[in-house]
Amino acid sequence: MTDLPLRDPDPQPPRQQCVALVDDDRNILTAVSIGLQAEGFATRVYTDGETALKALLENPPDLAIFDIKMPRMDGLQLLQSLRQQSTLPVIFLTSRDEEPDEALGLAMGADDYITKPFSQRLLVARIRAILRRSELVRSQADDAATQETTETVVRGRLEFDPSRHQVSWAGKPVSLTVTEFLIVEALATRPGVVKSRNQLLDAAYNEDVFVDDRTIDSHIKRLRRKFRAVDAEFSAIETLYGAGYSFTDG
């Protein structure tokens, strides 16, 4: 009798990525949820910001999509509260007359925004682009964790690890979003060199995200607040009026 070849065990199916949707319009929630499930995503839906915040912190999805205009806690308030404890990737849904809110949302730490009405294809493309970036960050962190040597870059009291997206100041960790980290990295890689707002936008955003260059000013203010939370005397990010920003820690 001929022995049958041993079968390899069935490979584990890839983990299904989860997208949380937060919108008080149930019709939009239903339509977007069905569309994303058809593309292979798991979805969770929430009709108000307060309920969503608790769920997003207790059981984080891979990405969240917020409508800006909601009762009780709108999308901007939800993002502000979320960013105090989480760097979860976030996309905003906005209306055509909400440009100031779009810029504010990006400055507060949103990863992207999409203007309504939008196509399902565009939404899925944006979601996958952000998830690829997040997966790359996680993969780099996992790779770095298996290496004996680290890739930490030291600039005076600043230390940052590009592979792990980790930052510390004077030995104290500073929690940054991916966008904030990319701005710090762009500045600190070449201390003393002035970076224009457009150069920092290029470093921090995908090519298909169009934001006002003044958004960088808001990011810089948030970065200074975060660093000053661990060192009240922090002044390493300098403003050169009319030119841009530079990093120095002499």
Cα 33 from chain centroid (whole Å): 21
Domain 18-137 CATH (choose: 3.40.50.2300, 3.40.1010.20, 2.40.50.140, 3.40.50.620): 3.40.50.2300
pLDDT score for 58: 93
Q: List the chain domain ranges.
A: 18-137, 150-247
Nearest residue to 213 via CA among 92, 205, 192: 205
Per-residue pLDDT of the chain (250 residues; tens, 9 = 90+): 455 555 555 555 567 899 999 999 899 899 999 999 999 999 999 999 999 999 999 999 999 999 988 888 888 999 999 988 888 999 988 876 666 666 777 777 788 888 888 888 889 988 988 888 777 655 655 555 555 455 788 898 999 888 777 899 999 999 887 788 889 999 998 888 999 988 888 887 766 555 566 778 888 888 998 899 999 999 999 999 888 999 987 5
For the entire predicted model, the pTM comes to 0.64
Strand ordering across the sheet containing 158-161: 153-155, 158-161, 166-169, 172-174
Helix (H) or strand (E) holding 108: none
Residues, the chain: 250
Topology given in CATH for the domain delimited by 150-247: Arc Repressor Mutant, subunit A (1.10.10)
Q: Quote the strand ranges of the chain, DSSP E.
A: 18-22, 42-46, 63-67, 90-94, 112-115, 153-155, 158-161, 166-169, 172-174, 237-240, 244-247
pLDDT score for 210: 57
pLDDT score for 3: 52
